[in-house]
Amino acid sequence: MKNDTFTEGFELVVCTGDDNEIYDGETGHQYLEDVVSTLAEFGVSREEVTHERTSIGVGAEAGALALIMAAGITLLLAGKRVFLAGKTINENVDAWIELAKKCRYLFRKLNAQYISQPFAAALALEEIIKDNPKARRFDLEGAFVDIVPNSSMDMTGLATKDGRSIQETFRYQPMRYYTFVIRAFDEEPAEGYWANVPAAVHVICVRSTGKIEFHHVLPVRDWLKFEGVESG
């Protein structure tokens, strides 16, 4: 499905295997406290996070925990708390850039196996900034979600949760590819006609595992490259 806004909220799926103690008793309480503390490092408050027991895998499924920030997340940015609704990267760009810088660390610390669309967009931004550190304005032109069907689950589309097919609901079936089309503009504003021409157009695909599947850069300001002449 394609859109120019995100169709998923901020969610992470953490594999817990067959460890039922994660959900019960003192061990489970401490685990959830550690999760909340980790998220708090980024400014995400306890009230913003809920969790739900789920499973992952095809065939012999493993236990998992979905961490859900349904309304959005709050980040610490230059000592201030900044809220991201997670609808598009066109909102509050500085906060998205901050999330892009920190999300890899967050995923490693939480041992998150799967990430939802807004977190994948942050990884896409991370890739763009690596390619062009001067990029400071981003226009999301398209956001595609391609779900990889899990044959161990209902394939008819009749099994639903909260009005959506199980296969289409991230926390129950998180295998998917996220593709983004993003126009990136440099921090130094151009004048005249060039003001409306991005430094580049980026087409990036991110797996829900966090792996960058591909990153293609269209150098739309470089007529030499368009004509097949290498500059420099």
pLDDT at 23: 55
Residue 178 sits at φ, ψ, to 5 deg, of -110, 125
pLDDT at 156: 77
Q: What is the mean pLDDT of residues 57-73?
A: 75
Which distant-in-sequence residues (6+ apart) come within 8 Å of 55 by Cβ? 61, 62, 63, 64
Please check whether residue 8 is in contact with residue 145, taking contact to mean a CB–CB distance below 8 angstroms. Answer: yes
* pTM metric for this prediction: 0.86
Q: Which two tokens stand for residue 3?
A: 């859109």
155-197 confidence digits (pLDDT tens): 777 777 777 888 888 888 899 999 999 999 887 766 676 667 8
79-108 confidence digits (pLDDT tens): 777 778 777 787 778 888 888 888 888 888
Residue type for 133, please? Answer: P
- Report the alpha-carbon angle 182-187-189, nearest 5: 100
pLDDT at 26: 59
Please check whether residue 190 is in contact with residue 162, taking contact to mean a CB–CB distance below 8 angstroms. Answer: no
Q: Band of the pLDDT at 60, cuts 50, 70, 90?
A: low
Q: Which residue has the higher pLDDT, 56 or 123?
A: 123
pLDDT at 177: 97
Q: Band of the pLDDT at 28, cuts 50, 70, 90?
A: low
Distance CA 94, CA 89 (A): 10
pLDDT at 55: 75
What's the whole-number average pLDDT of the chain?
82
Spans of all domains in the chain: 2-226
Q: Which single residue is written with the structure tokens 């991005």?
A: 198
